Amino acid sequence: MKKFLPILLLASACRTNTLTGKTETLQLHYIVWGCPCANWATPEDLAKYEGDILAEHCIFIEPATQALAVPLYFDPARHGIIVTGQFYTKPGYPTGTVKTEEQLDKARVFRYNKISIFKKDIDYSPKDDTTGLKVLKNGPARKH
């Protein structure tokens, strides 16, 4: 029974974390850190911070339903997301986070109920585009 006590306490702590009540829309870019840590950052944070300081400003995201999960075709080098939702009041982990041997630091968690994928404004061959998304300046991409 002692082995399960920390997991039960973690689950209990997660239920006490509430949403702020303030709906926000965020543009986010995925950072491939090489760890299961918080890896989403705003363009403003990417421009302002680097390395460990940037990592302190990264967030986790959590879909309100599984139907809203980041799609399989998402490519961090080519895409970003725009999400609408709310932050939890306390740092933590997104629902479904599995405990591993590596220590995972808590971070702000943004629970979203709307997501759009957009193509970053970069040049690459159209033959390499498998998503069917068009670049829209300052907005989400749309299927064509």
pLDDT score, position 6: 41
Contact 2, 66 (CB under 8 A): no
Angle at 66 between CA 65 and CA 67, to 5 degrees: 90
Give the pLDDT of residue 36. 83
User: What is the per-residue pLDDT for 129?
Assistant: 64
Q: Is residue 97 within 8 Å of 104, Cβ to Cβ?
A: yes
Contact 119, 75 (CB under 8 A): no
pLDDT at 1: 42
Low-confidence residues of the chain: pLDDT under 50 = 1-13, 142-144
Report the pLDDT value the prediction gives residue 10, as an integer from 0 to 100. 42
